[in-house]
């Protein structure tokens, strides 16, 4: 694969501008012996390296080529899951520009959020440029479990928990909505597991049982838990094992 095409696929600009980066000596490639060398303008192919996993630097910024990006982000409070936020900073501002600019089918640029969290909700958020993965993780038909840590305004009672498990009616949907699991961790801490995603669902479900959400944090998706060492605002790529975990039921 041509080096300019690799740079383009990773979000470092148009094919022409990527070729210009190579011509001006702004691109370095890590060879098989672990030595960095400046890519020459006539170096149309990257030796015997496959594109996937190629280490390179663009104007000093080190990068590893991934043909598909799978990312976990610890979403902080006061951020919006939109590329065009209305009142708060975008979670996309926490990512390096190549991840926001890499092209993919459909014309959209950059990685996309797998579902959304409200601006005041914190926790595990996935992003990817793999459309099939995004659909698989977001579709209510796939029943991907999402675990939320809910701090409530009023003390929790067993009757409220049983109501959530049995199903509550939200104001715009006559069909009862059930929690897949619900556990009182303490008097004001509920661990709630859902397999569908409706607008403000957790807040509306708690309101339906005469309580109120004071804070909301998503701690798990599928079999993947938010790592304790991933601090608010930080992100990293999913490992192969984590990618399998998040898709496990």
List, in sequence order, every beta strand (DSSP E) within the chain. Answer: 27-30, 36-38, 55-58, 61-64, 70-75, 112-113, 122-128, 146-152, 168-170, 173-177, 181-186, 189-194, 213-221, 224-225, 235-237
- Rounded-to-integer distance, Cα 39 and Cα 231, Å: 36
With a CB cutoff of 8 Å and minimum separation 6, the contacts of 37 are 28, 29, 31
* Catalytic residue set: 118
> Which run of H or E residues covers position 6?
helix 3-9
246 exposed, middle or buried (CB, 10 Å; 0-12, 13-18, 19+)?
Answer: buried
CA contacts within 13 A on the Cβ side of 167: 7
List C-alpha distances in Å: 131 to 60, 68, 138: 31, 10, 10
Q: How many residues does the chain have?
A: 249
């Amino acid at each position: 694969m041509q080096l300019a095409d690799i740079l383009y696929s990773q979000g470092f600009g148009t094919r022409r501008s990527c070729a210009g980066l190579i011509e001006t000596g702004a691109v370095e490639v890590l060879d098989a012996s672990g030595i960095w060398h400046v890519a020459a303008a006539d170096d149309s192919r990257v030796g015997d390296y496959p594109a996937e996993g190629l280490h390179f630097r663009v104007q000093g910024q080190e990068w590893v080529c991934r043909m598909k990006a799978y990312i976990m982000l610890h979403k902080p409070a006061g951020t919006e899951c939109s590329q065009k936020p209305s009142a708060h900073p975008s979670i996309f501002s926490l990512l390096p520009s190549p991840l926001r600019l890499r092209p993919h089918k459909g014309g959209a640029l950059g990685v996309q959020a797998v579902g959304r969290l409200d601006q005041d909700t914190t926790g595990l958020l996935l992003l990817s440029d793999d459309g099939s993965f995004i659909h698989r993780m977001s579709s209510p038909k796939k029943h991907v479990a999402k675990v939320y840590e809910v701090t409530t305004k009023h003390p929790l009672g067993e009757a409220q928990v049983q109501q959530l498990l049995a199903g509550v009616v939200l104001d715009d949907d006559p069909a009862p909505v059930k929690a897949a699991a619900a556990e009182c961790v303490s008097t004001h801490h509920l661990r709630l597991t859902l397999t569908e995603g409706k607008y403000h669902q957790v807040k509306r479900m708690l309101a339906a049982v005469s309580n109120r959400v004071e804070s909301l944090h998503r701690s798990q998706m599928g079999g993947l838990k938010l790592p304790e060492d991933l601090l608010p605002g930080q992100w990293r790529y999913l490992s192969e094992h984590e990618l399998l975990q998040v898709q496990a039921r």
